[in-house]
Amino acid sequence: MKANSVVSSKQDTVDILIIGAGASGAVAAWNLSTSGLSILCLEQGGRTDPGDYPSTKQNWEVLKQTVYHVSPNVRKLPSDYPINDSDSPIAIANYNAVGGGTILYSGHFPRFHPSDFKVHSLDGVADDWPIDYSQLEPYFEQNDRMMGVSGLSGDPAYPPIEGLLPPVPLGKMGEKIGEGFNKLGWHWWPSYSAIITRNYKNREKCINLGPCNMGCAQGAKSSVDVTYWPYALNNGVVLKTQCRVREITLDTMGRANGVIYYDQSGMEQKQLARMVIVACNGVGTPRLLLNSTSPLFPDGLANRSGLVGKNLMLHPCGYVEGVFEEHLDSHVGPQGCCILGQEFYETELSRGFLRGYTMHVLRGPGPIETALSGMLRREIPWGQGHHSAFSDRFGHIISMAIITEDLPEPHNCVTLDPELKDAHGIPAPKISYRLSDNTKAMLAHGLNRGKEVMLAAGAKKTFAFGPIRHTGWHLMGTTRMGRDPRFSVVNDWGRSHDVPNLFIVDSSVFVTSGAVNPVSTLQAVALYITDRIKQNLSDILGS
C-alpha cells in the first residue's frame, strides 16, 4: 500500500515517541510515564486477544504451525514484515503485536551473569560492556517486581537473587533430569520463569496450560501486555496500534524530529516528537535506521560508525532429547520452563572454546509433535508398530536446548534486501549469519554433554542436533553500546552518538550476548537507560 497523503501539525508534537510496544518499548513507556511528558508509542501490530490463544482450543498444536508460528515468513500476518533469512542457518523468530516477542516467548527468564559484561577483560575476546552487572542489579530487581518472576533463591551460578515467587513445578521429568545432573556433579537449578506461580498484581497464577510459547490465555505468563502496559496506559501513555514506522526524520540541526508512518488504513502520516526512542528488536531497529536515510546520514540514521546492523548475535541453539523407560508426564507443565544447567557457562579453556552455554531443559512435546518427530526420524513406523512406538515416546521424552553464546562478528549482520519489501513498500531486512568455529565447538560440546546428562538420568535413547533453524528469537548487537563513537552506535545509556535526542532501548545495544534468554537483561537495560533519560531531560529536550 503506497502513501497518498501526509498529515501533520505542530500541535501533534509529542515529547517522547517510542517505536515498538514489545519487551523494551513497554518498559520505556512505563518508566517514562511518570515524567510528566507526553508519550506516544507506535506499534505495527495489534492487541492480541487471550481468548483466541491456541490453549483455548483443542487444536492448539496445529495452530503452532500456522498463525502462531514463530517465523513472520510463515505467519504472514498483516502485522508482519518479511525477513530474508536465506543466508543464515538460523531463521529469525519474532512476533509483532502489543507485547512483541513476549507474547510467544517461553518466559525463561535468567539474567546475564556478571562475567557477561566483562568478556574482554576476563577472556580476551570481543569487548566489555560500558556498564556492568552491579549497575543493572537494581533494575533486574525492579523488573522482576514489575513482571512477576518465579524461581528459587540460592543459585550458586548467580549473585543473590531475592523476591522470587515459588518455582514452576519440576514435574517427574524435572526430578529425573535433576538426578542425572547430580550423578555427574553438574550445576542445575529450577528455571527463573516469567510465570507467576501465585496470584500477583491482579493476575491469576499459572495453571500449567502448557503451550506458553503460543500466548498465555491465563495471563500467568509475564508478557508485557499484561505487566508493564496496563500501568503505562493508566499513567497516560498513548499507544497507537497497527502503525508501521517507515523512517525517523531529522530537523535542520540534525536532531530527530519525528517519524513517518503508515496508519491502520495505510495512510502515510507524520508524527512530530522532541525525542525518539527505538525499541524494535535487533532486526527491526537496524532495519528502521538503515531505511532512515538523509543527506546527513546517507548510510542510515545514526550510522557514522558504520556499525548499524553489524555484529548480529542470535544464540545458535542445539537440541538434545532423551527417551526414558518411565512415563514422566513430561508433556505437563510450562513448556519452556523447568530447570536450567550452567555447569558450562563460564569459560574453561580446556574445553576448546571461549565462553559457554546454558542447558535449558524443556518439557516434552504434545501428541502431534511427538508423533511427527518420531515418524520423521523413523522411530515411529507405519503399521501396527505405530501404537507401541508412540506409547514408548509420549510422556517419556525430556528435551533440552543448548543456548550458546555467539560472539560479535561484523560479517554477521542485518542489511536491507534490495528487492524484498513489506506490504507498505518498505525494504525488508536481510540476514547474513555464519556460526564461528568457536560457536561450532561450543555447540558440539553442549550436544555431547546434553546426551551425557540424559544418559546419566537413565535415558534409554538420546538424540541431538544443532543448530536448530527456527530459534532466532534472541536478536542482539546490531546497534551496540560503547563510549567510543568510532566503535559503537549508542553511548553507555542508549543515546545515539550521532543524534542526541535519539535512543535505542532494545537488545540491539548489547555488546555481547551472554548465553541465556535475553529478555530479563534487555528489560533491565531499558529501565537503566530510561532512568538516565529522566535524569537528563533538560539536556536531551533543550529548553
Partner 1 sequence: MMRQTTSDQELELLDSILEHMIPASEDGRMPGAGSVGFWTYVESKGEASWICSGLALLLEAASAEFGLPFSQLSMVGRTEFIAAQRRKQFRFFSRLTHQVIECYYQDARVLRAIGLETRPPFPDGFRALDGDLSLLEPVFIRGKIYRG
**Binding interface with partner 1 (CB under 8 A):** 53, 55-62, 113-115, 117-118, 122, 133, 152, 154, 156-159, 167-172, 174-175, 178-179, 181-182, 185, 187-190, 206-211, 217-218, 329, 332-333, 342-343, 345-347, 367-368, 371-372, 375, 382-384, 386-387, 390-391, 394-395
**How far is it, in rounded angstroms, from Cα 337 to Cα 169?**
9
Between residues 138 and 425, which has the closer beta carbon with respect to partner 1? 138
**How far is it, in rounded angstroms, from Cα 230 to Cα 350?**
49
Between residues 65 and 535, which has the closer beta carbon with respect to partner 1? 65
Between residues 217 and 416, which has the closer beta carbon with respect to partner 1? 217
Is residue 530 exposed (0-12), middle (13-18) or buried (19+ Cβ within 10 Å)?
buried
Between residues 385 and 418, which has the closer beta carbon with respect to partner 1? 385
Length in residues, the chain: 543
How many CA atoms are closer than 13 Å to the CA of 370, on its beta-carbon side? 23
Smallest gap, in angstroms, from Cβ of residue 145 to partner 1?
A: 23
Between residues 372 and 468, which has the closer beta carbon with respect to partner 1? 372
Smallest gap, in angstroms, from Cβ of residue 464 to partner 1?
A: 23
C-alpha cell at 130: 560500558
Smallest gap, in angstroms, from Cβ of residue 5 to partner 1?
A: 38
Between residues 132 and 141, which has the closer beta carbon with respect to partner 1? 132
**How far is it, in rounded angstroms, from Cα 128 to Cα 252?**
35
Between residues 81 and 158, which has the closer beta carbon with respect to partner 1? 158
Smallest gap, in angstroms, from Cβ of residue 61 to partner 1?
A: 8
Taking Cα atoms as reference points, which of 214, 277, 256, 221 lies closest to residue 30?
277
Between residues 225 and 343, which has the closer beta carbon with respect to partner 1? 343
Between residues 264 and 391, which has the closer beta carbon with respect to partner 1? 391
How many CA atoms are closer than 13 Å to the CA of 67, on its beta-carbon side? 12
Smallest gap, in angstroms, from Cβ of residue 379 to partner 1?
A: 14
Q: Which amino acid is at 191?
A: S
Determine the 3-state secondary structure of 259 from DSSP. Answer: strand
Taking Cα atoms as reference points, which of 345, 276, 357, 346 lies closest to residue 316?
357
C-alpha cell at 138: 537494581
Q: Is 201 left (phi over 0), alpha (psi -120 to 50) or beta?
A: left
Indicate the pairing of strand 39-42 with strand 238-240. parallel
Sign of torsion, CA 486 489 492 495? positive
Smallest gap, in angstroms, from Cβ of residue 368 to partner 1?
A: 5
What one-character DSSP code corresponds to residue 46? B
Smallest gap, in angstroms, from Cβ of residue 136 to partner 1?
A: 12
Between residues 189 and 463, which has the closer beta carbon with respect to partner 1? 189
Between residues 366 and 485, which has the closer beta carbon with respect to partner 1? 366
Contact 225, 48 (CB under 8 A): yes
For 425, phi and psi rounded to 5 degrees? 80, 10
Smallest gap, in angstroms, from Cβ of residue 332 to partner 1?
A: 5
**How far is it, in rounded angstroms, from Cα 384 to Cα 515?**
44
Smallest gap, in angstroms, from Cβ of residue 176 to partner 1?
A: 10
CA 258 vs CA 65, 310, 526: distances in Å: 38, 25, 21
Which single residue is written with the C-alpha cell 518498559?
A: 27
Smallest gap, in angstroms, from Cβ of residue 419 to partner 1?
A: 28
Smallest gap, in angstroms, from Cβ of residue 88 to partner 1?
A: 24
CA 91 vs CA 69, 103, 399, 430: distances in Å: 12, 18, 21, 11
How many of the other CB atoms lie within 10 Å of CB of 383? Answer: 7
